Amino acid sequence: MAEIQDTQPPRVDISKSSSNVPADGYDKKCIFCRIVNNEMGTELLHCDEEISCFRDIKPGAPHHYLVVPTKHVGNCKSLTKEHVPLVKRMVDKGKEILEKNNITDLSDVRFGFHWPPFCSVTHLHLHVLAPASQMGFMSRLFYRLNSYWFITADQLIELLNSKGETN
């Protein structure tokens, strides 16, 4: 198996992240693959070859966006240390979308992922919620910090960075 050299850019080939996904990174059974492929009529707030963003169909806050890899990537539990740059770019895109929607107070924002088996779609997706202080009771439960079912983007990055260090 080839090793990744330090001279390579910190990008991960997201088309190879899940063994059940065709080489083109599209899973016809995945609702998020279909959304980013413009098959569902969902408005895409951002779409490029790496990252796409759209509104959550069941918003948990006045601004609730989903930032996803454009090509299918499995849920956050399937990620490796190589995915850290992708997760960071997803967070950056979420911040950019918030700024475009006049949300500038990033201290009242929640960025995170549901931890399997508590995610309804297996395509990696970052929840971007703002203002977090305006989330309702159920949303505060679904997107609860320090819970078994929701992990912040920073916690995921820390977890991924620690993978392989204790071998």
In terms of C-beta density within 10 A (0-12 exposed, 13-18 middle, 19 or more buried), how is residue 21 classed? Answer: buried
Contact 95, 110 (CB under 8 A): no
Cα distances from 70 to residues 14, 88, 144, in angstroms, run 9, 15, 26
Alpha-carbon distances, residue 15 vs 29, 88, 165 (angstroms): 16, 18, 25
Token look-up 């679904």 returns 142
Q: Cite the active site residues.
A: 125
Q: Where are the beta strands (DSSP E) in 48-143?
A: 51-55, 63-69, 110-114, 126-130
